[in-house]
Homo-oligomer: A and B are copies of this chain.
Amino acid sequence: MAGTFRDIKADILGKITRGEWPPGSLLPAETELAETYAAARATVNRAMRELAEEGILERKRKSGSRVRLSPLRQARFDIPIARQEVEAQGRRYRYALVRSEVASAPDWLLARMALPQGAQVRHLICLHFADDLPWLHEDRWINLDLLPQARTADFRAAGPTEWLMAQIPFSAVEISISATSADTGLAAHLDCAEGTALLQMERLTRWDDRTVTLVRLVHHAGHRMTTRY
């Protein structure tokens, strides 16, 4: 009936959306579907595996494949890198270092980053501009135990994001998105009124189970993160 795993996937999805296979129902086994579609089982497997990854199906050995009762859906957002985000809009990117210091981590940071008492951190505040309009406020803390090179690195020309990617290109990250109210500093840097609601993204980067860096990114007023699925 169908040649490619995409055709099979689309056909199965069609049967589900048209109600032939309602939520909760059991689908035929892979071997049976392979006969139906006159395809190899591996092909049917790929189609069903992807449907399961997308949260449409629930698969278990022996019990078979069922249509999820409430289709567990998830959205994927690209992790923004300021320069790329700005330039993708055809706007001119500019970066500025606002503040830079080496200090002992304050108590809240010790807790948040799981650092030992007295740990030293490099603290940076940076601004990213799009066509000279404030785009993103970056408040970053770098663990100097793990990245002693950060003590002397110069972040005046380029932001710490690129520098960090060169040091630890792949790592485990925990992201949380929330809303925050502009305090005096944020209002001044992002050119908005105090109290304005702003979208904040906090990223905790781990490497080998130890926290490398914590960053708070606050976007300009009105910013949206958008995606489709």
Contact = CB atoms under 8 A, between A and B. Distances in A.
Interface of A: 13, 16-17, 23, 56, 70-79, 81, 84, 165, 169-170, 172-181, 195-200, 222-229
A83 to B, nearest CB: 9
Contacts of A223: 178-179
Within the oligomer, what is the number of copies of this chain? 2
A71 B84 CA distance: 12
A84 B76 CA distance: 20
B173 A228 contact: yes
B74 A77 contact: yes
Contact of A177 (B72, B78, B199): B199
B226 A170 contact: no
A74 B81 contact: no
Nearest to A84: B70
A25 to B, nearest CB: 12
A176 B72 CA distance: 18
Given A169-B17, A199-B177, A76 B79 contact: no
Given A71-B170, A170-B13, A226 B175 contact: yes
9 contacts: A16-B169, A17-B170, A75-B175, A174-B227, A176-B224, A176-B226, A177-B226, A179-B200, A195-B195
B70 A78 contact: no
The 7 lowest CB-CB distance pairs between A and B, nearest first, are A197-B197, A179-B179, A179-B197, A176-B226, A181-B197, A179-B199, A178-B224
A12 to B, nearest CB: 11
A97 B198 CA distance: 29
A110 B97 CA distance: 44
Given A79-B75, A169-B23, A178 B199 contact: yes
Nearest to A207: B17
A113 B179 CA distance: 26
A223 B180 CA distance: 10
Contacts of A180: 179, 197
A18 B222 CA distance: 40
B170 A16 contact: yes
